[in-house]
Structure 1
Amino acid sequence: MITGASAGLGRAIAAALAPTHTLFMAGRPSRRLDEVAELYGATTWPVDLADTEDVETVVEAITELDVLVHNAGVAYPGRVAETIPEQWRATMEVNVVGPVALTLALLPALRAARGHVVFINSGSGINASPGLASYSASKFALRSFADSLRADEKDLRVTSIHPGRIDTDMQRDLIAYEERDYVPEQFLAAETVALSVAQAIATPPDAHVHEVIIRPR
């Protein structure tokens, strides 16, 4: 299962995993998500990470799950003094509470498969980024949740992926906030990060990749 697979990095992860996995694509129903699902022969699951009340009911039919990739996320550019509490709340709901709720709902299925949970984190989950106050805080929290899950669920593999800046629509919004020209070549390709995700998942069962840090050259 991949969240946030309708575009950008999520779509690239779907492309990287489609040759070896049957894909479930979780997200808000949309034509873009349906198009990606059709392209890769995937099944869509109507999951809204901003409203987790129905998550457990939505996924209860899944009894065994090999891999869960948490890719969905939001970012509201702004330095601390520019932010408002509502932005922090919205960021935490999607970037932290949503992944926690979905993981808990799918925990029996992951345990049954001795599965793998992959969190698409960020360099901002290691060092706070100027102009991304609420986003950085959420990624630190997500990293901590991944560490706790790894410590508490010994039969699961749990990997945090910490890429640098990626050529995506989210990145364009951030560069616009910074009032700079957008130069795609300065950033990682989504396909490059997706390949690292696929490689971590394909690691032989006697090994456990805890963290992957990727930066543009």
Structure 2
Amino acid sequence: MPRFALVTGASKGLGAVLATFLAGRGDDLLLTARDEAALTERAESLAEFGVDVRAVAGDVADPDHRAVLGEIAAERGALDLLVNNASALGPSPLPPLSAYPLDEFERVLRTNVVAPLALAQAVLPVLREAGGLVVNVTSDAAVEGYPGWGGYGASKAALDQLTRALAAEETAVGVVSVDPGDMRTDMHRRAFPGEDISDRPLPDITLPFWAWLLGRDPLDVTGRRFEAQAERWEA
């Protein structure tokens, strides 16, 4: 049976690049994102690879949507890969913490911390069945104190710690966090409104890393935090 992967935030940017990579290697896919039109277009473009692609639009912060994704994964019986890529940037332009709207901060935490854990909880039984891998997409803002990035960075720092703890608890599933690095994406355009970010690389620059990571035994890499644009990686 082909490998089966669930990718969130899969309609564009890094999620779309990763979904295409997975389809190209023959994986069946369950894709989700909030933009239904863009998600449907992405799923249809992957049909040429001859894999089974199911696209379910929705917000990962919505418990009902996560329940649907969990049910689909359970019906398959085994899940080889969960990529928690969907993220909320927060207000744009990025405000200082002294003026950060707390309702927006709560939304960022729901999307970037609560949702990845909740989705992992929903699919852990089928991940264990497959000896699968959870990938939580993080950021250098989790380890550096950039002005304006406090809300987003705090959420990703929490996600990194969640990743380490879950990896220590799970004996049959690998759990890693991945910082993809600075890239030319819609999120980065929103983070720097009015600025030229054409010098940033496209998300395709991370493809060598994904080929490397997904060629490893999940338990050989579990608990690690990787930088996708680093010169080399070690298991």
1:31 to 2:37 alignment: yes
1:29: Cα distance to partner? 6.0
> What is aligned with 1:7?
12
For the Cα contact (< 8 Å) 1:120–1:162, is it kept in 2? Answer: yes
User: Using the alignment, how far apart are the partners of 1:61 and 1:214 within structure 2?
Assistant: 29
In the superposition, the TM-score normalised over structure 1's length comes to 0.90
User: Using the alignment, how far apart are the partners of 1:133 and 1:16 within structure 2?
Assistant: 32
Q: Which amino acid aligns with 1:131?
A: G
1:31: Cα distance to partner? 1.0
> What is aligned with 1:171?
188
Q: Matched residue pairs, number?
A: 213
User: Using the alignment, how far apart are the partners of 1:182 and 1:69 within structure 2?
Assistant: 29
User: Using the alignment, how far apart are the partners of 2:63 and 2:17 within structure 1?
Assistant: 25
Q: Which amino acid aligns with 2:23?
A: A
CA distance 1:19–1:86, change in 2 (3 Å): same
CA distance 1:115–1:205, change in 2 (3 Å): closer
Q: CA RMSD in A?
A: 2.0
> What is aligned with 2:63?
52
Pick from 226, 231, 234: which aligns with 1:212? 226
Larger RCO (CA within 8 A; separation ≥ 6)? 1
1:28: Cα distance to partner? 3.2
Question: Identity of aligned pairs, percent?
Answer: 30
1:71 to 2:85 alignment: yes
CA distance 1:136–1:43, change in 2 (3 Å): same
Q: Which amino acid aligns with 1:2?
A: V
Equivalent positions of 1:10-159 (< 5 A) are: 10-20=15-25, 21-28=27-34, 30-41=36-47, 42-62=53-73, 63-76=77-90, 77-159=94-176
1:204: Cα distance to partner? 4.3
User: Using the alignment, how far apart are the partners of 2:119 and 2:151 within structure 1?
Assistant: 21
In the superposition, the TM-score normalised over structure 2's length comes to 0.83
> What is aligned with 2:50?
none
1:157: Cα distance to partner? 1.2
CA distance 1:13–1:92, change in 2 (3 Å): same
Q: Which amino acid aligns with 2:32?
A: A
Q: Which amino acid aligns with 1:56?
A: A
User: Structure 1 stretches of 5 or more lacking a match?
Assistant: none
User: Structure 2 stretches of 5 or more lacking a match?
Assistant: 1-5, 48-52
